[in-house]
C-alpha cells in the first residue's frame, strides 16, 4: 500500500501484520510442518525474497507455497494460474479472502508475500522483512542438511545496517522514482537511487558479497531489485542514468547470483514485465508490455570467482527446483 504526498513524493505504508511464526509460538503461531502456506507472486520483488530463502534453506517440505498470477485488480492478487482460478490448498480465488479471515474489514493493501494458517484460512503475517529473517532463525529445526547461514549471528548488525540502506535507497528507491508526482520529487529520488548504487558499486568492487565472504540476507534483498532493473525499472520507473548492464560491478555481481542455484531459477521475467506494465496503468495506460531486453547475457561469465568467497559457506547448494515450482520454460534466461 502506498501513496503520493502533496509534494509528489512516493511513500510506502509499512504498517504490516507483524504477528510472527516462531519456534516457541510466542505470538500463538508455533513453527509446525504443514500448517502454513506461503502465498507469493513471482512478479513481486518482496515475495521473490521469500521464494529464494525458502529454497536455499530447504523448507519446501514443511512450508507449502501458492503462486498468484502476475496481475491483480484494485481488490487483490488472484490465483489465476491454478485450475479454476482457485488455490488448491486454501480453496480461495483471492488472497484477500485470507486477509478478511484474519481482519474482517482489513483496511490496508492486500500484499504478497503472506503466510496463511491453513487450518483457519487466515493470514498470519505479511511482514516480508521479518519473514525471511524468521525462516533463518526460527525454522532452523527444519532446514535441509547443508543449508547456508543467511543471517549468521556475528554478522547480523552489519547485515541489518546494509539491508536498511538497500531498502530505503534501492528496493524502495526505484518506486520513489517511478511514482514521483512532481519533477522535483523525481529528481531527488533519482539522485538518491544512483548515489546508493554508486555506494554499492564501491563496496562490491573488492568483495564478492555484501557482508562477509558468503551469501547473506543482504544479497537476497539487493538481488531481487537488480533482476528487475533493466526489464522494468530503467524504463518504466525512469531509473535511466544507466542500465544495470552498463554498471560493470553491479552487473557482474547480479549475474554471479543469478547463476547461483536458488536465485536465477526463481526469476520469471515474463511475469515480472506483465505485472509492472499491465497493473501500473497510471504510468503505462496502454498496458503494452515490452518485448525486450534480451536475457541471454544473464548467463555470460561474470568473473567474480576471482574475488574469492564461498557462496554457501560450509553449506551446499540447494537441489533442483521442485516439480510444480519451476519457472515456466521461456520465462527465464537460457
- Residue 175 annotated to the active site: yes
Question: Rounded distance, CA 185 to CA 212, Å?
Answer: 35
- Residue 233 annotated to the active site: no
Instruction: Give strand pairing partners of 117.
Output: 36, 122
Which DSSP string corresponds to 112-131? SSEEEETTTTEEEE--HHHH
Q: Dihedrals φ, ψ of 49, to 5°?
A: -60, -45
Taking a C-beta distance cutoff of 8 angstroms, is the pair 75, 158 a contact? no
**Which residues neighbour 39 within 8 Å (Cβ) at sequence distance 6 or greater?**
65, 66, 68, 77, 87, 90, 95, 98, 112, 113, 114, 115, 116
**Which residues neighbour 114 within 8 Å (Cβ) at sequence distance 6 or greater?**
38, 39, 95, 98, 99, 123, 124, 125, 126
Q: Is 77 annotated as a binding residue?
A: yes
- For residue 258, which of 301, 217, 227, 225 has the smallest C-alpha distance? 227
Distances (CA, A) of 70 to 80, 180, 182, 269, 275: 9, 23, 28, 11, 5
Q: Hey, what's the cell of 196?
A: 546508493
Tell how far CA 293 is from the center of its chain.
20
Question: Rounded distance, CA 111 to CA 232, Å?
Answer: 20
Q: Hey, what's the cell of 212?
A: 562477509
Distances (CA, A) of 298 to 12, 147, 206, 301: 31, 25, 21, 9
Q: Cα torsion for 177, 181, 187, 192, to the nearest 10°?
A: -40
Which entry of 16, 36, 44, 151 is annotated as an active-site residue?
44
Which entry of 36, 151, 175, 277 is annotated as an active-site residue?
175
Question: Rounded distance, CA 106 to CA 185, Å?
Answer: 31
Binding residues for glutathione, by number, are 77
Q: Which residues are catalytic?
A: 44, 175
Annotated binding site: 77
Amino acid at each position: 500500500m502506498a501513496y503520493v504526498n502533496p509534494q509528489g513524493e512516493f511513500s510506502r505504508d509499512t504498517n504490516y501484520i507483524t504477528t510472527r511464526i516462531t519456534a516457541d509460538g510466542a505470538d500463538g503461531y508455533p513453527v509446525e510442518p504443514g500448517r502454513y502456506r506461503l502465498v507469493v507472486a513471482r512478479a513481486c520483488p518482496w515475495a521473490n525474497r521469500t521464494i529464494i530463502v525458502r529454497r536455499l534453506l530447504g523448507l519446501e517440505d514443511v512450508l507449502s507455497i501458492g503462486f498468484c498470477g502476475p496481475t491483480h485488480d484494485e481488490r487483490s492478487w488472484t490465483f489465476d494460474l491454478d485450475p479454476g482460478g482457485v488455490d488448491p490448498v486454501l480453496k480461495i480465488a483471492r488472497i484477500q479472502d485470507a486477509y478478511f479471515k484474519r481482519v474482517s474489514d482489513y483496511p490496508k493493501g492486500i500484499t504478497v508475500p503472506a503466510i496463511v494458517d491453513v487450518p483457519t484460512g487466515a493470514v498470519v503475517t505479511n511482514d516480508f522483512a521479518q519473514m525471511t529473517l524468521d525462516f533463518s532463525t526460527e525454522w532452523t529445526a527444519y532446514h535441509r542438511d547443508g543449508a547456508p547461514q543467511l543471517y549468521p549471528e556475528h554478522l547480523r548488525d552489519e547485515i541489518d545496517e546494509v539491508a536498511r540502506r538497500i531498502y530505503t535507497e534501492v528496493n524502495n528507491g526505484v518506486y520513489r522514482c517511478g511514482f514521483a508526482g512532481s519533477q522535483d520529487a523525481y529528481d531527488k529520488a533519482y539522485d538518491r537511487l544512483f548515489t546508493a548504487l554508486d555506494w554499492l558499486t564501491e563496496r562490491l568492487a573488492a568483495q564478492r558479497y555484501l557482508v562477509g565472504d558468503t551469501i547473506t540476507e543482504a544479497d537476497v534483498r539487493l538481488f531481487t531489485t537488480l533482476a528487475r532493473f533493466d526489464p522494468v525499472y530503467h524504463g518504466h520507473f525512469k531509473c535511466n542514468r544507466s542500465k544495470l548492464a552498463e554498471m560493470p560491478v553491479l552487473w557482474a555481481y547480479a549475474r554471479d547470483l543469478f547463476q547461483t542455484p536458488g536465485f536465477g531459477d526463481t526469476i520469471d521475467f515474463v511475469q515480472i514485465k506483465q505485472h509492472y506494465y499491465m497493473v501500473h496503468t497510471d504510468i503505462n495506460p496502454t498496458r503494452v508490455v515490452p518485448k525486450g531486453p534480451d536475457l541471454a547475457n544473464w548467463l555470460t561469465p561474470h568473473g567474480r570467482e576471482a574475488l574469492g568467497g564461498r557462496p554457501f559457506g560450509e553449506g551446499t547448494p540447494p537441489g533442483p527446483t521442485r516439480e510444480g515450482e519451476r519457472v515456466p520454460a521461456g520465462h527465464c534466461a537460457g
